[in-house]
Structure 1
Amino acid sequence: IFGLDSVESVLPYEYTAFDFCSEKTMKRPSENLGQVLFGERIEPSPYKFEFKKPVVCQKVCTRTYDTNNPSDKAKLDFLKKGMLLNYQHHWIVDNMPVTWCYDVEDGQKFCNPGFPIGCYVTEAGRPKDACVVNSNFNEKDAFYIFNHVDITIYYHIVEHEQLGARLVAAKIEPKSQNVDNDNKHTGVFNIPYTYSINFVEDKNIRWASRWDYILESMPHTNIQWFSIMNSLVIVLFLSGMVAMIMLRTLHKDIARYNQMDSVEDAQEEFGWKLVHGDVFRPPRKGMLLSVFLGSGTQIFIMTFVTLFFACLGFLSPANRGALMTCAVVLWVLLGTPAGYVAARLYKSFGGEKWKTNVLLTAFLCPGVVFADFFVMNLILWGEGSSAAMPFGTLVAILALWFCISVPLTFIGAYFGFKKAGIEHPVRTNQIPRQIPEQSFYTKPFPGIVMGGILPFGCIFIQLFFILNSIWSHQMYYMFGFLFLVFIILVITCSEATILLCYFHLCAEDYHWQWRSFLTSGFTAVYFLVYAIHYFFSKLQITGLASTILYFGYTMIMALIFFLFTGTIGFFACFWFVTKIYSVVKVD
């Protein structure tokens, strides 16, 4: 039995928090790091059964409450609050989620990997949430707790194997029955918890595809496929247009510039060739830029490897917590590339404070994320949520950071500073060239704002489903499409940033380093705006603590996305600028 969560609250709770029947004789199974981070706490179940032995109305326990007792009243109030916020049970059998299947519009059936603890009928007689599916729940201002469950186990017989049979589905139907007292009255209040189990042989479901009935029943699955394909076609078309424009324009420019032999022709030079003596001038705040690029490289490699393994099926929803565990472990082990990239770029910028550089690379961005996460964890501790990370796990994460990631960052920085600086194809003049007055479209801020639109356009559909999986507790399994969108995001960030960089160089503005980073990094601002819109339009989250947690975790995601996309834009422009100035003959 997992903990309980709700689409109306960010705070998950352990199963025992609502005073349900519990199993105290069996040892609690251990969770991996990803499950702890997501607040998944597995409890041994008090609901017992043996294969092919049906059970009818088996009693588990009875909870007795006296509303005159402050402790009992607090437990009842917490239970009612859980029903108001539509908290959901999550049970598993043989690693399969126990699903609650019910009819939705157009005769479709939706199978939810969880079922509510109860429901509420308002004072106006309007049933909320699960009360809608049962016409018997018609009493006004009444709470109905689902204290009885009918469980159906589907299996098929395996011939020529010693296993005998395999479980292929587990479905549940929650009911409210045999409650002693009207929940609006005072006095002693009894809630008996019972269950029934039935076994059904099903030869049509293969064991390898036993998850399919859950995934296929999810709402808007067909719309998701169509929208993703539509988005990919549009983005590929736009990317092709940008690439064609760049290749045609640059080919003409390079051919024209290489044909200029006379002094008269040289005097007619204009555009990006005029700034060849300043294009590799070190940027302002080169220390901070190099640190951001080191952290962004670490995040980029981590994301690529994690999605690659997810596409191969190693990080499927059946392997609980594996996705987050893989991401955290990879981030810890990728300290060396972060230190190397930051040190190498900082040295090419002419920086000499190598100690400050390596310390900032190891602690600045991870420190900001950890500080935000720690504050969120304090709120979860205060609310008694199961998502609050235990002190031991917090110490373990700090140990991974300080004892593995930081030393690896120092090793990478050592090799980065030891290696010779990056050789540029053209020399940098001693006196900076004066930048002419820029038009509105070539000024820094408008270009940066425009640069993030196209990359965001290729991810916002996937972003909707990812946010749904995080905040609405829906299962996400389309990692193949996600990996494809990741590749197209990289291409789109690169092409959009290169295009704007080319326009700025033609306008004789050679400050491309920070601008290239911020142009594609501005996609994170659109992500943040979309997350705010999603909060107010799609979610039903209530309560100050849940709101703070939502925006706290969103800020962490926005920072990571900013570093990730900004790094893509910088290295794309770095490659582009190096290539064009090495191809053109510069006198």
Structure 2
Amino acid sequence: MSDSSFRILIIGVLIACSLTHVRSDASDHRYKVGDVVPLYANKVGPFHNPSETYRYFDLPFCSPDGIIKEKREALGEVLNGDRLVSAPYKLNFRDEKDSAVACRKKLSEQDVAQFRSAVEKDFYFQMYYDDLPIWGFIGKVDKEGKTHPNEYKYFLYKHIQFDILYNKDRVIEISARMDPHSLVDLTEDKEVDVEFMYSVKWKETDTPFEKRMEKYSLSSSLPHHLEIHWFSIINSCVTVLLLTGFLATILMRVLKNDFVKYAQDEEAADDQEETGWKYIHGDVFRFPKYKSLFAAALGSGSQLFTLTVFIFMLALVGVFYPYNRGALFTALVVIYALTSGIAGYTAASFYCQLEGTNWVRNLLLTGCLFCGPLFLTFCFLNTVAIAYNATAALPFGTIVVIVLIWTLVTSPLLVLGGIAGKNSKAEFQAPCRTTKYPREIPPLPWYRSAIPQMAMAGFLPFSAIYIELYYIFASVWGHRIYTIYSILFIVFIILLIVTAFITVALTYFQLAAEDHEWWWRSFLCGGSTGAFIYAYCLYYYYARSDMSGFMQTSFFFGYMACICYGFFLMLGTVGFRASLLFVRHIYRSIKCE
């Protein structure tokens, strides 16, 4: 990558970092007694369906003045489904009050039915007070002594108790408790007069402002959770050590014997028939079929690998602190756009090394290989979200912004990278000459075909990460908080090592069986872990989660399909690159006539 491209990438990462610290307003979080502290209502939705969220006032809550003020949100907040509006409560700084009426409203029969449906689905609400998250359930279902759902009673909470900790002139912590004795009966469809009330208690604390977000990350740092994480690390390390030790011992011994055998054959007689991987030296560097698609897959995989590394760098320096999820989406969009030059350069350079001629078509294929399926999935899921009137539906303005980023940043950098790759004039380094006609591949047993090999190649890397996968899923598709990025980074490194080693081993066994079509096989074997992760999605959805409904199901399996496809491209690239280094090494070590 050129110096100018690298500078652009670094600037973009810094922009992503600056956009992550989304604030409630322009204040420095310092207040005087009686000052207005920003309080925004964010969204409501079924507790077990994290993607199915709605605007706060989609439920018939009342607003104090009948006016709903919307907060202007950053790109990451919109992508995260946040829709902040002014809340019906006023929590001025250190304003002691026992209780106050937020607003009064007469609920019609339709309003009662709407609230009852929300309570039945276990709806929760989320608010932000001085950028600190607040949660609470909007009601409860009384099932005590009842055996049939028709006998259940439904109640709406009408009183919220806010407990706020402060340190001098700053807010440190806030929690909301629903008063179990202040309820509205929603069981019958009849009009109800409701007074939505709240009370506030202020208490001083010594916790410094810089540590006020630490309590949200404590759940993932509890001793028993850390023990499980370290068990996962130890399990993965043992897997890596056993695998690398086994492969190193076997491959070094076998290769050493091969080198000795081939050296003796060359000294003894030239008319002896060659066998094994040396026998196909004239075909092993024969370029693969569909080389334009192959080069595009390598380009996309290289870009996704770079994107993942940069995301880990930002995570390790503390950018993605708890409940700043908008930061992650902003960083993903910005860094993906800025790394498109890497995809263009890698794809065009490798395509030209494979003696490809239509590099423009190759660039178009590279640009669409990952973005195309992602765009189609987004169109379908956004349509579903619009039909549900959910906050996951992106506004037209946000879609325009993303299209502009793709048009003005991603595409030009892809083209510039492609031009640089085409002009690099790098030659494919093949230690052996390729014969004019390919040798026929001998008949092989079924377990040496592509699908069984992919199954073997994907299982070991997946076994090294599956324990950590649960915590990641529970964070992304649930309400748990994941903050131990250092452990996740170690697991990622282990995943790369295991993927590289198992792909190299399978490539050697394939070549030893005189099967010279290893290019696509190494990519498919390396990326097969993505298929195992998607299979784990099925297990997690049906066995470990309580998600339900068409929207949540389509969002879960739709976006996880895109993520697993990205893993396939990234790990496939890792597997092929490792195999290419290995194949070049062994054929460079022998004399091939």
Contact 1:58 1:196 in 2 (8 A): yes
Deviation per residue, 1:444-496 (Å, 9 max, x gap) = 22112111001111221221111111211322212111111111111111111
SS at match of 1:542: coil
Contact 1:124 1:141 in 2 (8 A): no
Q: What is the aligned partner in structure 2 of residue 540 from structure 1?
A: 546
Alpha-carbon spacing, 1:331–1:414, altered in 2? closer, same or farther (3 Å): same
Q: Counterparts of 2:338 and 2:261 in 1: how far apart (Å)? A: 48
> After the TM superposition, which of the residue ranges 265-274 and 516-525 deviates more from structure 2?
265-274
Contact 1:235 1:488 in 2 (8 A): no
Of residues 82, 101, 112, the one that matches 1:76 is 112
Contact 1:121 1:127 in 2 (8 A): no
Of residues 406, 421, 425, the one that matches 2:411 is 406
Alpha-carbon spacing, 1:308–1:127, altered in 2? closer, same or farther (3 Å): farther
Q: Counterparts of 1:196 and 1:578 in 2: how far apart (Å)? A: 72
In structure 1, stretches of 5+ residues that fail to align are: 68-72, 99-113, 129-138, 157-163
Contact 1:66 1:189 in 2 (8 A): yes
Q: Counterparts of 1:76 and 1:227 in 2: how far apart (Å)? A: 50
Report the AA paired with residue 236 of structure 2.
L
SS at match of 2:297: helix
Of residues 97, 103, 106, the one that matches 1:55 is 97
SS at match of 1:467: helix
- Residues 1:95 and 2:131 are matched in the alignment: yes
- Residues 1:311 and 2:316 are matched in the alignment: yes
Of residues 258, 264, 273, the one that matches 2:269 is 264
By how many angstroms is 1:223 displaced?
A: 4.9
Report the AA paired with residue 200 of structure 1.
K
Q: What is the aligned partner in structure 2 of residue 431 from structure 1?
A: 437
Q: Counterparts of 1:545 and 1:151 in 2: how far apart (Å)? A: 33
Alpha-carbon spacing, 1:195–1:503, altered in 2? closer, same or farther (3 Å): same
- Residues 1:34 and 2:76 are matched in the alignment: yes
Q: What is the aligned partner in structure 1 of residue 12 from structure 2?
A: none
- Residues 1:2 and 2:34 are matched in the alignment: no
Report the AA paired with residue 393 of structure 1.
T
By how many angstroms is 1:318 displaced?
A: 4.9
Deviation per residue, 1:283-313 (Å, 9 max, x gap) = 1122211111111111110011111111111
Report the AA paired with residue 150 of structure 1.
Q
Report the AA paired with residue 2 of structure 1.
N
By how many angstroms is 1:91 displaced?
A: 2.1
Q: What is the aligned partner in structure 2 of residue 19 from structure 1?
A: 60
Contact 1:144 1:176 in 2 (8 A): no
SS at match of 1:19: coil
SS at match of 1:170: strand
Q: Counterparts of 1:381 and 1:76 in 2: how far apart (Å)? A: 24
Report the AA paired with residue 214 of structure 2.
D
Q: Counterparts of 2:259 and 2:179 in 1: how far apart (Å)? A: 75
**Residues 121-132 of structure 1 correspond to what in structure 2 (within 5 A)?**
121-122=142-143, 125=146
> After the TM superposition, which of the residue ranges 388-397 and 542-551 deviates more from structure 2?
542-551
Q: What is the aligned partner in structure 2 of residue 146 from structure 1?
A: 157
By how many angstroms is 1:569 displaced?
A: 0.9
Q: What is the aligned partner in structure 2 of residue 377 from structure 1?
A: 382
**Residues 198-277 of structure 1 correspond to what in structure 2 (within 5 A)?**
198-203=201-206, 205-217=207-219, 221-245=225-249, 246-258=251-263, 260-264=265-269, 267=272, 269-277=274-282
Q: What is the aligned partner in structure 1 of residue 188 from structure 2?
A: 185
Contact 2:461 2:499 in 1 (8 A): yes
SS at match of 1:213: helix
Report the AA paired with residue 55 of structure 2.
E
> After the TM superposition, which of the residue ranges 319-328 and 368-377 deviates more from structure 2?
319-328
SS at match of 1:60: strand
Contact 2:112 2:190 in 1 (8 A): no
- TM-score, normalised on structure 1? 0.88
Of residues 435, 441, 446, the one that matches 1:440 is 446
Identity %: 31
Alpha-carbon spacing, 1:368–1:186, altered in 2? closer, same or farther (3 Å): closer
Q: What is the aligned partner in structure 1 of residue 30 from structure 2?
A: none
Alpha-carbon spacing, 1:64–1:242, altered in 2? closer, same or farther (3 Å): farther
Alpha-carbon spacing, 1:97–1:339, altered in 2? closer, same or farther (3 Å): same
Alpha-carbon spacing, 1:573–1:353, altered in 2? closer, same or farther (3 Å): same
Of residues 389, 399, 404, the one that matches 2:394 is 389
By how many angstroms is 1:573 displaced?
A: 1.0
Report the AA paired with residue 131 of structure 2.
N
> After the TM superposition, which of the residue ranges 454-463 and 256-265 deviates more from structure 2?
256-265
Alpha-carbon spacing, 1:35–1:342, altered in 2? closer, same or farther (3 Å): same
Q: What is the aligned partner in structure 1 of residue 34 from structure 2?
A: none
Report the AA paired with residue 41 of structure 1.
R
Contact 1:308 1:483 in 2 (8 A): no
Alpha-carbon spacing, 1:195–1:412, altered in 2? closer, same or farther (3 Å): same
By how many angstroms is 1:28 displaced?
A: 3.1
Q: Counterparts of 1:499 and 1:281 in 2: how far apart (Å)? A: 20
By how many angstroms is 1:242 displaced?
A: 4.2
Q: What is the aligned partner in structure 2 of residue 462 from structure 1?
A: 468
By how many angstroms is 1:351 displaced?
A: 2.2
Alpha-carbon spacing, 1:557–1:264, altered in 2? closer, same or farther (3 Å): same
Q: What is the aligned partner in structure 2 of residue 102 from structure 1?
A: none
Q: Counterparts of 2:511 and 2:48 in 1: how far apart (Å)? A: 50
SS at match of 2:85: coil
Alpha-carbon spacing, 1:571–1:77, altered in 2? closer, same or farther (3 Å): farther
**Residues 572-583 of structure 1 correspond to what in structure 2 (within 5 A)?**
572-583=578-589
Runs of 4+ deviating beyond 4 Å: 23-27, 176-180
> After the TM superposition, which of the residue ranges 193-202 and 170-179 deviates more from structure 2?
170-179
In structure 2, stretches of 5+ residues that fail to align are: 1-40
Q: What is the aligned partner in structure 2 of residue 343 from structure 1?
A: 348
- Residues 1:359 and 2:370 are matched in the alignment: no
Contact 2:457 2:528 in 1 (8 A): yes
Report the AA paired with residue 96 of structure 2.
P
Contact 1:121 1:140 in 2 (8 A): no
Report the AA paired with residue 85 of structure 1.
K
Alpha-carbon spacing, 1:166–1:256, altered in 2? closer, same or farther (3 Å): farther
Q: What is the aligned partner in structure 2 of residue 279 from structure 1?
A: 284
Superposition RMSD in Å: 2.4
Contact 1:297 1:567 in 2 (8 A): yes
By how many angstroms is 1:8 displaced?
A: 2.8
- Residues paired across the two proteins, number: 547
Contact 2:53 2:391 in 1 (8 A): yes
Q: What is the aligned partner in structure 2 of residue 101 from structure 1?
A: none
Q: Counterparts of 2:271 and 2:395 in 1: how far apart (Å)? A: 69
Alpha-carbon spacing, 1:238–1:191, altered in 2? closer, same or farther (3 Å): farther
Alpha-carbon spacing, 1:223–1:142, altered in 2? closer, same or farther (3 Å): farther
Contact 2:244 2:501 in 1 (8 A): no
Contact 1:55 1:197 in 2 (8 A): yes
Q: Counterparts of 2:331 and 2:481 in 1: how far apart (Å)? A: 18
Alpha-carbon spacing, 1:291–1:125, altered in 2? closer, same or farther (3 Å): same
Q: Counterparts of 2:85 and 2:246 in 1: how far apart (Å)? A: 54
SS at match of 1:316: coil
Q: Counterparts of 1:411 and 1:45 in 2: how far apart (Å)? A: 48
**Residues 482-501 of structure 1 correspond to what in structure 2 (within 5 A)?**
482-501=488-507
Report the AA paired with residue 363 of structure 2.
V
Contact 2:115 2:186 in 1 (8 A): no
Q: What is the aligned partner in structure 2 of residue 333 from structure 1?
A: 338
Q: Counterparts of 1:92 and 1:247 in 2: how far apart (Å)? A: 59
